[in-house]
Amino acid sequence: MLRCAVAKPRFANQRELDETGGESWIRHYTHGAPYNIPMAKNIYSKDVLLDIHSRTHVSIRKLLKHCAELTDKQLYKKHKGFGHPTVHSQLFHILVAEYYWVKVAQGIVDVNINPKDFPAVKDYQTYHRKNIKATAEYIKKTSVTELNTPQMLKTYRSRKKLVPAHLILRVTTHAFQHQGQILAMCRLMDHPSPPGMDITLKP
């Protein structure tokens, strides 16, 4: 059982925290009291990451099928109040974000992907299949220790200490965030989503 107790900060400063690469800590503040919660090493197994990833993409596959029913006018229609204002740009953001962060986990920075390469949803569907395979292969070939260990990784703007397993989890939660925005756009265009668009309980 994971126990939590109010305690003085274990680490003197952020640098000391960063240099403890073998452990991951969460610091949560409630009414100003710091909680230091030690997390088990190698907390995320390959099976867990692959399961979360595959279930997420069952939903994204349904989302792409739903969006394929939109006209070009609907696909590129701009909606106020959204950071990415069209269904097309939202789909691009979901799929390219996963590609980008999984590449970062492998020490590669690739920002040379253009939304003009995906004029229709069918192009995203093809890219989506490749993306799923690439992420799954990365998880399978990487050791559990490496997946769970903080590493200095290069990103588009800087170098950061990141945990590869956290990147996998981030792109899956990120996908659902933008799926919700896409479905809100679809409802605004009188194209409501079918049932079963949340993360599936069945593999």
Digit-coded pLDDT (tens) for 67-90: 999 999 999 999 999 999 999 999
Q: What is the pLDDT of residue 11?
A: 43
What is the percent of the chain where pLDDT is above 70?
77
Q: Which pLDDT tens digit goes with each residue over 53-65?
A: 999 999 999 999 9
**Do the beta carbons of residue 193 and residue 147 sit within 8 Å?**
no
What is the per-residue pLDDT for 3?
Answer: 45
Contact 64, 181 (CB under 8 A): no
Res 177 pLDDT > 80: yes
Provide φ and ψ at 104, rounded to 5°: -60, -40
Domain layout of the chain by residue ranges? 1-39, 46-188
As a CATH number, domain 46-188 is 1.20.120.450
Give the mean pLDDT of the chain: 83
CA distance 124 to 88: 9
Q: Is beta strand 159-162 parallel, antiparallel or unpaired with respect to 33-39?
A: unpaired
Q: What is the model's pTM?
A: 0.76
Other C-beta atoms within 10 Å of 176: how many?
17
What does the alpha-carbon distance between residue 69 and residue 71 come to, in Å, rounded to a whole number? 7
What's the mean pLDDT in 26-46?
Answer: 57
